[in-house]
Amino acid sequence: MVTPSQNPSATLPPAVQIRDVSFAYNGKPALHGITLDIPARRITALIGPSGCGKSTLIRSINRINDRIPGACLTSGSIRIHDIDIYRRDINLQELRRRVGMVFQKYNPFAKSIYDNVVYSLRIAGVRNRGELDAVCENALRAAALWDEVKDRLHASALGLSGGQQQRLCIARAIACEPDILLLDEPCAALDPLATLKIEELLSELKQRFTIVIVTHNLAQATRCSNHTAFMYLGKLVEYGATRQIFDKPINPQTEAYITGSFG
């Protein structure tokens, strides 16, 4: 079993326990026996070449993969705070409120900035204007967007720049108070400056949330993550503290990937 070589969050139990998980799309396997503990209140990065199963893994943590026809967990279990999230009687809506997600392509609704942030609260039936305002401000502050948009909360979210739109999506995700935040290549469509802002934001957010981030950008993984998992061909090759993975990788495949001589 692969475990972090050092565990700085030893005081907290792991937020997500992935045990021997195999996943298949229409019978075509995408993940093979992944076992991984994601520590609470830390940033865990998933790296690896395209098609290695990073996105499948992260998308199976909030079961958003369920909506893909033919996608299913073929073996193993994923436990969040000791609850198996693939048991039959799980409340999917509650699970997804606890496990927020931000997607690769920023996808704010074609509504106002305000309406985007309070969307989940409105769905939950919150009508109190004061409460909505407070949540909106807090979420936007947490996403480091408040100062930029406070004067135009009721303007369309689509008028924002790409980086702002992605931070709005983060604000929208944290407005429903999740415990775990999944980010699927959140900076893939952004320029370096916007990327930097999101990275700064993430190091702030890890005080409050357990963060899992999929990234193609190795520098990003070194800059902002505490732990890194390298995946290849649907298997977990190596998992450990980010510094160890990048400085002294144990597995030769990991070394080949991070030095760019993969082949």
Q: Which residues pair with 113 in a beta bridge?
A: none
Instruction: Pick the closer one to another protein by CB: 120 or 228.
Output: 120
Non-local (6+) Cβ contacts of 204 within 8 A are 142, 144
- Residue whose C-alpha is closest to residue 223's, from 197, 248, 260, 259: 197
Q: Kindly tell me which of 10 and 110 has the beta carbon lying closer to another protein.
A: 110
DSSP state of 52: S
Secondary structure element (H or E) that encloses residue 140, with its range: helix 129-142
Kindly state the smallest distance separating residue 100's Cβ from another protein, in Å.
Answer: 7
Amino acid at 236: L
How far is Cα 211 from Cα 209, in angstroms, rounded to an integer?
6
CB of 67 to another protein, least distance (A): 7
Residue 247 CB contacts under 8 Å (≥ 6 apart), including other chains = none
CB 37 within 8 A of CB 80: no
Q: How far apart are CA 220 and CA 196, in angstroms?
A: 9
Minimum separation from the CB atom of position 105 to another protein (A)? 6
Whether the CB-CB separation of 205 and 220 falls below 8 Å is answered with no
Tell the smallest beta-carbon distance from residue 255 to another protein (Å). 35
Handedness of CA 145, 44, 48, 85 (dihedral sign): negative
Of the two residues 19 and 96, which places its CB atom closer to another protein in the complex?
A: 96
Pick 27 or 69: Cβ nearer another protein? 69
How far apart CA 52 and CA 35 sit, in angstroms, is 15
Positions in the binding site for another protein (CB under 8 A): 62, 64, 67, 69, 92-97, 100-101, 103, 105, 107-110, 119-120, 122-123, 158, 169, 172-173, 176
**Closest to 80 in 3D by CA, of 13, 31, 20:** 13
Instruction: Tell the smallest beta-carbon distance from residue 219 to another protein (Å).
Output: 26
Nearer to another protein, 64 or 218 (CB): 64
**Least distance in Å: CB of 96 to another protein?**
4
CB nearer another protein, residue 19 or residue 97: 97
Q: Find the helix packing angle between 129-142 and 162-175, rounded to 10°.
A: 130
Return the number of the residue (7 or 119) whose C-beta is nearest another protein.
119
What is the smallest separation between the CB atom of 64 and another protein, expressed in angstroms? Answer: 5
